[in-house]
Chain A
């Protein structure tokens, strides 16, 4: 395919010999490449489908009312997920209550109030780095700070300490989502608000924030669904696997769905593995509801966009 000698062009037959477009062969390679790329994409989805079907087949027969409303037990047939389920709902509320206002506030500050100075730049780099820290490291932070140092406030290894840790974990995600939602609001709205004499905060509160709110909410729900699926930080904090009571805010141990699943997976008996599959189904349903809400909000937001 390469022509090194410029004289080759003048000699017709020689050029024909040297330049061989070989279109058929190249198109064949093209096809192979295209098919390979489709296979790679579909493979990911096939794996996802395979996983879901496997879990459904294993766990669905076990899923019943008794399973949802029972406390842990040494026998797999009598065990249930009441305590972990309540623990997960607790975590959802605490994490949302802490992370949402702080994350949105920090996002508003960075997008609306800050000027480009050293502080802002440090803040941005810092948030970028935090988003990449492994979740288990947050667990260690929670263990050292919320469980040990703030033991008087959090009560030690409680659902409160765990909720605070998860809130820190998803804070960068919410901040980034808030900033993106705010950035999507046209600048003319801000200019109009300020031209009418409103302060920056009034403009943001009355005009910008309502426009950006569905986007912020979507990002927050997605972040929360990430927090709900987290296992590692909760183990490090000291979530328990045998909680035969409804966990309370800052007293006594707590459990959560992923923890219970992890515990059941680790048992040698096959009956507990079935329990784990049923637990996974419940967890996936919770996540599915959250994700569907987020997608619904996003679609509604896109439809009503100015």
Chain B
């Protein structure tokens, strides 16, 4: 196309001139405003880190960090206060491990069922039903653990007290089950069909194909779903607060009342601690520990997926 065939643009330019000043301003305005909204999410992170770090520094001016990490007593509300975070971490660890023992096999089997066994129609209502389970508020799960699971377990577990780590952990496992199942299913679903067909062609049965070919191929995603499930279990608050009790003690006995990091935060925050008091800054020191643990778990899961992902074309 040559310019000589077109009318000279300068002849028409006097008749119609697109006034794009307004739309260009709007464009800049929209971009700037929405970019600022994006920056707000960065501010949230910065805000979380700054508040936690700031109050935690104040905390460590009062309590030596060595005592914080090695003491075997957690009694911040007593006059003779001791701050052994291991007490709370042991409780969090206990409930999370029980949750994982429940949710890991069930989650992976449910994921296999949804992606390999369930007919398309059944799957289309099974998945939303599991999503409902994920949408149940945790305070409801707490009610469930305290008033239903503990009474059911009591005849079978001798020495089980009304508040205990066991039923809290089991219900916690049910609460994180949809997370693990749905993320694992995504990973299993992404394994190409040709791998399955190759396995069948070699004479493997369906189960052999799943356990020896499909699951190993989806391993990175499945492990990542476990880690994210643990991260959720660690940060989960209401179930353990309601059903596991408020007794900080260094134990791995699932039958007795314990206190996790999150339920300590609820206990103190519910008591309206005055700003600057040692109870108030202890909240943030525990919050910092919790934040770091979940951050490490999430970082690990990211790294794991990137490092071990099998790529298929």
- Residues of A near B132 (CB, < 8 A) are 48, 291
Decide yes or no whether B193 CB sits under 8 A from chain A.
no
- Of B33, B242, B284, the residue contacting A105 (CB under 8 A) is B33
Decide yes or no whether A199 CB sits under 8 A from chain B.
yes
19 pairs, A vs B, C-beta closer than 8 Å = A29-B205, A29-B207, A40-B107, A40-B109, A44-B110, A45-B133, A47-B174, A55-B144, A113-B30, A114-B38, A126-B45, A129-B298, A132-B228, A197-B18, A200-B27, A222-B135, A228-B137, A232-B138, A258-B238
Interface contacts beyond A41-B126, A136-B265, A200-B31: sample of 19 additional A-B pairs, CB < 8 Å, sorted by A: A33-B207, A33-B211, A34-B207, A41-B109, A41-B114, A44-B181, A48-B136, A105-B33, A129-B298, A132-B231, A134-B291, A137-B52, A137-B290, A140-B48, A145-B47, A171-B41, A199-B20, A258-B238, A284-B140
Q: By the criterion CB–CB under 8 Å, are B294 and A51 in contact?
A: no
**Shortest Cβ distance from A204 into B: residue:** B30
**Shortest Cβ distance from B208 into A: residue:** A26
Q: By the criterion CB–CB under 8 Å, are B109 and A37 in contact?
A: yes
Decide yes or no whether B247 CB sits under 8 A from chain A.
no
How near does chain B come to A35, taking the closest CB pair, in angstroms? 10
Q: By the criterion CB–CB under 8 Å, are B143 and A55 in contact?
A: yes
The A-contacting residues of B in range 142-166, CB under 8 angstroms, are 142-144, 146-148
**Shortest Cβ distance from A32 into B: residue:** B207
Decide yes or no whether B63 CB sits under 8 A from chain A.
no
Q: What is the total of A-B residue contacts with beta carbons within 8 Å? A: 260
Q: By the criterion CB–CB under 8 Å, are B110 and A201 in contact?
A: no
Stretch among A7-15, A243-251, A273-281 lining the B interface: A273-281
Stretch among B65-73, B77-85, B249-257, B267-275 lining the A interface: B267-275
| Cα(A137)–Cα(B257), bound, Å | 24
Q: A106-B41, A148-B275 are in contact. Are A140 and B284 (CB under 8 A)?
A: yes
| Cα(A114)–Cα(B39), bound, Å | 13
The B-contacting residues of A in range 133-164, CB under 8 angstroms, are 133-141, 143-145, 148
Decide yes or no whether A89 CB sits under 8 A from chain B.
no
Q: By the criterion CB–CB under 8 Å, are B208 and A273 in contact?
A: no
How near does chain A come to B20, taking the closest CB pair, in angstroms? 8
How near does chain A come to B50, taking the closest CB pair, in angstroms? 9
- Residues of B near A26 (CB, < 8 A) are 205, 207-208
Q: By the criterion CB–CB under 8 Å, are B178 and A44 in contact?
A: yes
- Of A34, A44, A58, the residue contacting B117 (CB under 8 A) is A34
Q: By the criterion CB–CB under 8 Å, are A134 and B237 in contact?
A: yes
**Residue with the greatest number of chain B CB neighbours at <10 A, chosen from A139, A171, A265:** A265
- Of A27, A36, A136, A280, the residue contacting B235 (CB under 8 A) is A136
Decide yes or no whether B19 CB sits under 8 A from chain A.
no
Decide yes or no whether B308 CB sits under 8 A from chain A.
no
In terms of DSSP, what is the predominant structure of the interface of chain A?
helix
- Residues of B near A225 (CB, < 8 A) are 135
Number of interface residues of B (CB under 8 A): 91
- Residues of A near B38 (CB, < 8 A) are 105-106, 109-110, 114, 123
Q: By the criterion CB–CB under 8 Å, are B265 and A283 in contact?
A: no
Q: By the criterion CB–CB under 8 Å, are B137 and A231 in contact?
A: yes
Q: By the criterion CB–CB under 8 Å, are A40 and B37 in contact?
A: no
How near does chain A come to B43, taking the closest CB pair, in angstroms? 9
Decide yes or no whether A76 CB sits under 8 A from chain B.
no
User: Mask for A52-79, Cβ within 8 A of B = 1, else 0?
Assistant: 0011001000000000000000000000
| Cα(A39)–Cα(B38), bound, Å | 44
Q: Which 4 A-B pairs have the closest CB atoms?
A: A134-B235, A229-B137, A109-B34, A40-B109
Q: A41-B114, A47-B174, A266-B242 are in contact. Are A145 and B37 (CB under 8 A)?
A: no
- Residues of A near B35 (CB, < 8 A) are 109, 113-114
**Shortest Cβ distance from B43 into A: residue:** A168
Q: By the criterion CB–CB under 8 Å, are B48 and A133 in contact?
A: yes
- Residues of A near B148 (CB, < 8 A) are 50-51, 54
- Residues of B near A231 (CB, < 8 A) are 137-139, 237-238
How near does chain A come to B6, taking the closest CB pair, in angstroms? 17
| Cα(A302)–Cα(B92), bound, Å | 42
Decide yes or no whether A83 CB sits under 8 A from chain B.
no
Decide yes or no whether B57 CB sits under 8 A from chain A.
no
- Residues of A near B116 (CB, < 8 A) are 37
Q: By the criterion CB–CB under 8 Å, are B34 and A108 in contact?
A: yes
| Cα(A103)–Cα(B44), bound, Å | 13
Q: By the criterion CB–CB under 8 Å, are B140 and A235 in contact?
A: no
Q: A54-B144, A129-B45, A144-B55 are in contact. Are A102 and B262 (CB under 8 A)?
A: no
Decide yes or no whether B236 CB sits under 8 A from chain A.
yes
**Shortest Cβ distance from A134 into B: residue:** B235
User: Mask for A270-306, Cβ within 8 A of B = 1, else 0?
Assistant: 0001001100100110010001000100000000000
Q: By the criterion CB–CB under 8 Å, are B295 and A129 in contact?
A: yes
How near does chain A come to B39, taking the closest CB pair, in angstroms? 8
Q: By the criterion CB–CB under 8 Å, are B177 and A44 in contact?
A: yes
User: Mask for A74-113, Cβ within 8 A of B = 1, else 0?
Assistant: 0000000000000000000000000001110110111001
Decide yes or no whether B105 CB sits under 8 A from chain A.
yes
Q: By the criterion CB–CB under 8 Å, are A41 and B41 in contact?
A: no
- Residues of A near B135 (CB, < 8 A) are 222, 225-226, 229, 287, 291
